[in-house]
Amino acid sequence: MNKSATPQLKSLFIDLNDRSSDNSLSDQFVDLQEASYTQFNLEIKPSIEDEIIKLKVDIDFFSRIKKVQDLPDWVIVRLILANANLKSTDFKNRITNG
């Protein structure tokens, strides 16, 4: 398969609170059908903003790490959650021989 024949991957962000997203989604389906696609895989992922709020992650702390480290959002969230889980253990003493 040559590079020009490789299907282009697409992303579409839908806000379920915005009714105009329905039209956008419908238009995307028509575009796929016109491009001769008969099937596609729809993967549902929550927005990182919703997950940060739901997990009660400090947004300012998240933003500072993101700015300095330039890591993917999910890596930062997991890092913050791991840090919170480790606070109640003796992990710091074990790694510092303290």
Same domain membership, residue 89 and residue 70 = yes
The C-alpha atoms of residue 62 and residue 73 are separated, in whole angstroms, by: 8
| pTM beyond 0.85 | no
Query: Is pLDDT of 1 > 60?
Result: no
Asked if the structure places residue 17 within a domain, the reply is yes
The C-alpha atoms of residue 50 and residue 56 are separated, in whole angstroms, by: 10
pLDDT, one tens digit per residue, over 54-97 is 888 888 888 888 888 888 888 888 888 787 666 667 655 665 65
Asked if the structure places residue 2 within a domain, the reply is no
Same domain membership, residue 68 and residue 56 = yes
Domain range enclosing 19: 10-44
Same domain membership, residue 88 and residue 60 = yes
Same domain membership, residue 77 and residue 55 = yes
Q: Kindly report the backbone phi and psi dihedral angles of residue 23, in degrees, each rounded to the nearest multiple of 5, phi listed first.
A: -65, -40
Same domain membership, residue 77 and residue 52 = yes
pLDDT, one tens digit per residue, over 15-36 is 778 888 777 788 888 888 888 8
Does the CA dihedral 7-9-15-20 come out positive or negative?
negative
